[in-house]
Amino acid sequence: MIAQQIINAVSLGGVYALLALGLAIVFSIVGLINFAHGELMTLSGYALLAALVFGLPFPLAVLVAVSCGALAAVAMERIAFRPMRGASVTSLLLTSFAVSSLLKVVFQNGISARPQAVAMPGWMTGAFSFGDFTIGVGPSISIVVSALALIALEVFLRRSVTGTAMRAAAEDFNVVRLMGIPASRIIATAFLLSGLLAGLAAMLWVAQRASVDPLMGFTPVLKAFIAAVVGGLGSLPGAVAGGFLLGIIEVLLQATLPAAIAPYRDAIVLSGVIAVLLLRPQGLIPAVRVQRS
């Protein structure tokens, strides 16, 4: 029972971490909180549904769905955010709200406001047991996928020139441009990565629920936003730490709170967030950003 709860906690934390990381990557480069991040997740969910309906084998359908998330993120930047480059933070925020609302309406009117069932393969809902322990296949896959994605991202950011340039751009974007590295390449890569992460998170989210609806991305991305703020907005290690922390606390409270207090779970979690921010306003692991005149 305890082992199962721990697996659930880490698996939920992993999804939050992937989403928070996507928000943090874009924020660290462009200074934008992309509120349409949740819609990238929803879109990947619908892409998975469509690919399965068209009869693609499951692994291929997942590949298509995740790619759709990544491409949609790049398209979003191209169409909505690039024309706004250099605009104030408020204008960027409003743009992201506009994109988010627009996509929600498209999903509601174009597909359906009601949840659509996604036929997940049977083995996903299975479990394997070691002696007394029973561990769900879904949450285990979720943990493995999150871990692999985090490692792959870390390798990309450390080893590749574009990844290194992204870390540098988070510190001082103009100087990166002085090195001859195009701003659009860095920004497009940031959105591509955030879309990939949202797509992966969508797969893990759908795998646990076997359905997609137009508002699917809202709650997890709200949580991821909280995680990113707690971790230190714009700090990538902070986003990961915040994501896992939030997921673990939520599941542990769920499991341990007496039934009478259980409805207050979110209130308790958010009070914790306020406490953290009172003590460490820059977050758990603050972002490095050069002070410029």
Q: Give the whole-angstrom CA distance, residue 176 versus residue 174.
A: 5
Q: Which is nearer to other proteins, 26 or 176 (CB)?
A: 176
Enumerate residues 159-218 that contact other proteins by CB under 8 A.
Answer: 161, 164-165, 167-168, 171-172, 174-183
Residue 128's SS3 state is strand
Q: Give the whole-angstrom CA distance, residue 171 versus residue 45.
A: 34
Tokens matching residue 19: 């989403």
Q: Is 86 in the site for other proteins (CB under 8 A)?
A: no
Other beta carbons within 10 angstroms of residue 3's beta carbon come to 12
What letter represents residue 52's amino acid?
A: L
Q: Which is nearer to other proteins, 146 or 189 (CB)?
A: 189
Q: Which is nearer to other proteins, 2 or 178 (CB)?
A: 178
Beta strands 127-130; 133-136: pairing state: antiparallel
Q: Is 155 in the site for other proteins (CB under 8 A)?
A: no
What letter represents residue 13's amino acid?
A: G
Q: Which is nearer to other proteins, 98 or 175 (CB)?
A: 175
Q: Which is nearer to other proteins, 278 or 290 (CB)?
A: 290
- Tokens 């285990």 locate to 140
Q: Is 290 in the site for other proteins (CB under 8 A)?
A: yes
Cβ at position 208, least distance to other proteins in Å: 36
Q: Which is nearer to other proteins, 80 or 168 (CB)?
A: 168
Enumerate residues 218-237 that contact other proteins by CB under 8 A.
Answer: none
Cβ at position 87, least distance to other proteins in Å: 16
Other beta carbons within 10 angstroms of residue 110's beta carbon come to 10
The site that binds other proteins (CB under 8 A) totals a number of residues, namely: 19
Dmax over Cα atoms in the chain, in whole Å?
Answer: 63
- Tokens 């591509």 locate to 192
Binding interface with other proteins (CB under 8 A)? 161, 164-165, 167-168, 171-172, 174-183, 288, 290
